[in-house]
Amino acid sequence: MEFHIRCDPKEIARYAFVPGSHDRARQIAAHLENARLVSTSRGYLVYTGTVEGIRMTVCSTGMGGPSAAIAIEELGHMGVDTFVRVGSCGTYQDYVDCGDVIISTGVFRAGGTANNYLPVAFPAVPNFDLTHAMVEAAGRLGIKVHVGLGSAGDAFYAPRDEAQRKLLAQAGLVAGEMESDTLFVIAALRGWRAGALFACDGTSKATKPESGEAAFHQGEENALRIAIEAMKSIALADAADR
Amino acid sequence: MEFHIRCDASEIARYVFVPGDHDRAKKIADHFDNARLVSDSRGYMVYTGTVDGIRMTSMSTGMGGPQVAIGIEELGHMGADTFIRVGSCGTLQDSIQPGDLIIPTGVYRGGATGDRYLPPAFPAAPNWAVLTALVQASRKLGIKAHVGLGWSSDAFYALPEPQFIAKLKQAGVLAVEMEADTLFIVSSFRGFRAGAIFANDGTATEVKPAWAEEAFRRGEEQEIRIAIEAMKSIALADAAAR
């Protein structure tokens, strides 16, 4: 058995959603048929169920690179090879509002965990097929998304380097969050497919404003519907390839 | 007039192909209607013509980051905002043959020029619209292309550590070349759209073997066709969005 995610490997599906938040893991599991809680150890809430007969797992990673890295490594040991992070984020851009959904095409590696795997010059980018599947799924569901770059860092409350923030905003970064750098880099090294999308809970001026909360929760629901739809199409393509 | 690309700004199109090789710049221009050599200074061979009535420019950048950066900055001053690198590459993967095409989703930042713009943690990734246009063009033309990671380096003849190469190989890096990192980073910084496609001229164990030349030349002609088809679809989408 794994050191931290304590369950029988048979309980884990090939396709996994990896939100940071426990509540969001529960929310995604609510969209699965016959979802069962298969592990709760170390704060990883792990549910497995099916979507139209396709087995899928949801695991909350907690916040930040270290706990995300352990989660996806152990899920990988148990047979997961396809990960979609369904996260929340803030934003660098004035044109992004609370509740907007952002699909990541690459991320600035401000976190430290992935540096233990591959040097910082290695690009933290998602798998193309998975990302393309999410963009297509958003189109089919009629949900507007932004598609672009983000940053992922370790320290939510650390003092901000305003000069760097300005530079990164000019270079077009859309989303700011804390886990996708680790996810993309480890998935590359291990040969897994990973993608990420986020619901924005702030604006370029305000961090998690209360006035944006209802819009954010709508965005969160949109993001997880896109993720499930994309995962389904990836699983169907895998089955057709076999 | 610009310092290095010496021509009237009106001679430069919005859509530009940026191969490294001078001969390839001419080969791309041979696909244009009414192609004219508009500048030949500092080794930048610049041709402008039309494809189905859309004005396009083809310019050789020469090899390595410094010349790429100067090339696309000056093209940008003259109104270009969309770049496709049509390059050659080697490979780290045993499964990739001479003549195979690779469309990068991100590259390892082995070059130093991009560091003067944005720190190494910033992902060297193509613009999503250009990336998907290239993948879709290859499918439309029925030409197989690998879609994945690359490694851009400054030093063709330097000897990297075997361990480092093994790690990038494990992390799924397909292509090795010298310009995409700079192109992607400068483009992100300036708000340009950039993508790339490479024709492979080697194997995981051989650098540009003579026996691979014929297959490589076929791949080169195919990547030119894909790049032109992709650029056309981007220009048509721009016109429709107006």
Pick from A118, A147, A171: CB nearest B122: A171
In percent, the amount of chain B with pLDDT more than 90 equals 97
CB contact under 8 A, B125 and A167: no
CB contact under 8 A, B125 and A132: no
Contacts of A121 in chain B (CB under 8 A): 108-110, 120
Distance CA B119, CA B109 (A): 10
Pick from B107, B121, B128: CB nearest A148: B128
Band (B48; pLDDT cuts 50, 70, 90): very high
Q: What number is the average pLDDT over the span B111-137?
A: 97
In eight-state DSSP terms, residue B124 is: B
Please determine, for residue B66, whether its predicted confidence score (pLDDT) is greater than 90: yes
Please determine, for residue B160, whether its predicted confidence score (pLDDT) is greater than 90: no
CB contact under 8 A, B121 and A109: yes
Q: Are B30 and B226 in contact (CB under 8 A)?
A: no
B interface mutation test: which of A128, A185, A197 has the most B CBs within 10 A? A128
Domain residue extents for chain A = 9-241
Burial class (CB in 10 A: 0-12, 13-18, 19+), B36: exposed
Sorted by sequence, the CB contacts under 8 Å of residue B50 that are 6+ apart come out as B32, B33, B34, B56
What the block records as the tokens of B16 is 């530009």
Contacts of B121 in chain A (CB under 8 A): 108-110, 120
Fold of B9-241: Rossmann fold (3.40.50)
Average pLDDT, chain A: 97
Give the C-alpha distances (Å, rounded to integers) separating B124 from A93, A152, B13, B151, B174. Answer: 20, 15, 25, 10, 15
- List, as one string, the DSSP characters of chain A: --SSS-S-GGG--SEEE--S-HHHHHHHHTTSEEEEEEE-GGG--EEEEEETTEEEEEE---SSHHHHHHHHHHHHHTT--EEEEEEEEEES-TT--TT-EEEEEEEEEE-SGGGGTS-TTS-B---HHHHHHHHHHHHHHT--EEEEEEEEES-TTSPP-HHHHHHHHHTT--EEESSHHHHHHHHHHHT-EEEEEEEE-S-SS-SS-GGGHHHHHHHHHHHHHHHHHHHHHHHHHHHHH-
Query: Residue B75: what are its φ and ψ, rounded to 5°?
Result: -60, -40
Q: What number is the average pLDDT over the span A180-197?
A: 98
CB contact under 8 A, B108 and A109: no
Q: Quote ipTM for the complex.
A: 0.90
**Which pLDDT score, from 0 to 100, does residue B181 have?**
98
CB contact under 8 A, B108 and A147: no
Domain residue extents for chain B = 9-241
A79-132 residue pLDDT tens: 999 999 999 999 999 999 999 999 999 999 999 999 999 999 999 999 999 999
Quick one: which of B191, B182, B188, B129 has its CA closest to B154? B182
Q: Is B16 on the interface with A (CB under 8 A)?
A: no
For domain A9-241, give its CATH number from 3.30.70.1400, 3.30.160.270, 3.40.50.1580, 3.60.21.10.
Answer: 3.40.50.1580
Quick one: which of A131, A89, A99, A65 has its CA closest to A217? A99
Contacts of A125 in chain B (CB under 8 A): 105-106, 123, 125, 149
Q: What number is the average pLDDT over the span A68-76?
A: 97
**What three-state secondary structure class fits B139?**
helix
Which residue matches tokens 């997961």?
A80
Distance from CA of A123 to the nearest CA of B (A): 5
In A, minimum Cα distance to B122 occurs at A108
Cα–Cα–Cα angle for B199, B231, A107, nearest 5°? 75
Band (B159; pLDDT cuts 50, 70, 90): confident
**Which pLDDT score, from 0 to 100, does residue A122 have?**
98
B95-106 residue pLDDT tens: 999 999 999 999
Please determine, for residue B146, whether its predicted confidence score (pLDDT) is greater than 90: yes
In percent, the amount of chain B with pLDDT more than 70 equals 100
End-to-end CA distance of chain A, in Å? Answer: 29
**Which pLDDT score, from 0 to 100, does residue A242 have?**
80
In eight-state DSSP terms, residue B179 is: S
**Which pLDDT score, from 0 to 100, does residue B242 have?**
84
Distance from CA of B90 to the nearest CA of A (A): 18
**What three-state secondary structure class fits B125?**
coil
Q: Is B125 on the interface with A (CB under 8 A)?
A: yes
